[in-house]
Amino acid sequence: MQRDEAIYQRQGFGARLGVQGQIGLLIIDFVNGFADPAVFGGGNIPAAIAATIPVLAQARKRGWPVAHSRIVYADNDSDCNIFALKIPGMLTLKEQHPNSAIVAQLEPAEGELVVRKTVPSAFFGTGLSSWLTQHGVQTLLVAGCTTSGCVRASVVDAMSYGFRPVILEDCVGDRALAPHEANLFDMSQKNGDVLRFDAFLKDLDS
């Protein structure tokens, strides 16, 4: 890995973005189905959920805008898409199905946005970008799952829309650790800053 890092550094990747302007928090797909290893979960997702609880508390205490996302398909499967064809089980995530509900520990509060999506990115085909812009967000903290899937897709879109992504290393999880680690490395080189939440707060408060 050190040899790989040297190649990226020599080519100018991995510049630090830092914090600018209003901070927001995006929590991606921490729903019951992804918390359960028997459904879509596993790996380090439970630990990432636990680590996100104090992050959400801090965001609320500091008045940061908070958005959540969940995958929700129509009851009649009329919005079945390529993502669902690739992973047919996703079609079980309906509005009223318990597996599509956000975990109780991170239940949205009044005024927090809940984005319903049918593809990996929380930005694609949703109002998330305009909502964040309306709330003045420039730096976007990202928690959620999976690191290699919906987190990665959302981070790339966040960057593309002009937000500064900060991927909270301890607050993102995947059902397998190899893609988790690989995607953290790649996002840190190309899309945003990757660091633990305690390190982020230390930098912010200093």
Q: What is the token pair recorded at 41?
A: 């979960």
Residue 54 lies in a domain: yes
- The mean of the pLDDT values for the chain is 97
36: buried, middle or exposed (CB in 10 Å: 19+, 13-18, 0-12)? middle
Would residue 77 be called left, alpha or beta, if left means φ above 0 and alpha means ψ between -120 and 50 degrees?
left
pLDDT bin (cut points 50, 70, 90) of residue 5 is confident
Residue 3 lies in a domain: no
Q: Encode pLDDT of 146-201 as tens digits.
A: 999 999 999 999 999 999 999 999 999 999 999 999 999 999 999 999 999 999 99
Q: Please give the model's pTM, rounded to 2 decimal places.
A: 0.96
> Does the structure show a pLDDT above 90 at 27?
yes
14: in domain = no
Q: Residue 1's pLDDT band (boundaries 50, 70, 90)? A: low
- Domain assignment of residue 9, yes or no: no
**Residues 155, 191 contacting (CB under 8 angstroms):** yes
CATH number where 44 lies = 3.40.50.850
Q: What is the pLDDT of residues 59-97, one digit of tens each?
A: 999 999 999 999 999 999 999 999 999 999 999 999 999
- Domain contains 5: no
Q: Is residue 7 part of a domain?
A: no
- State the Cα–Cα distance between residues 74 and 104, nearest whole angstrom: 23
pLDDT number for residue 2: 67
Residue range 117-125: average pLDDT? 98
Active site positions, annotated = 150
List Cβ neighbours of 52 (8 Å cut-off, separation of 6 or more): 27, 30, 106, 143, 144, 168, 171
The structure tokens listed for 57 are: 């508390």
Is 33 among the domain residues?
A: yes
For the chain, what is the domain count?
Answer: 1
Judged by DSSP in three states, 169 sits in strand
Residue 173 counted as domain residue: yes
Q: Which of 120, 102, 136 is nearest to 20 (CA)?
A: 136
Sign for the CA dihedral angle at 135, 113, 65, 186 comes to negative
Question: Residues 101-112, buried b or exposed e (16+ Cβ, 10 A)?
Answer: bbbeebeeeeeb
Residue 141 lies in domain:
19-205
Compute the distance between CA of residue 118 and CA of residue 79 in angstroms, rounded to an integer.
8
Best CA proximity match to 192, nearest among 72, 61, 44, 18: 18
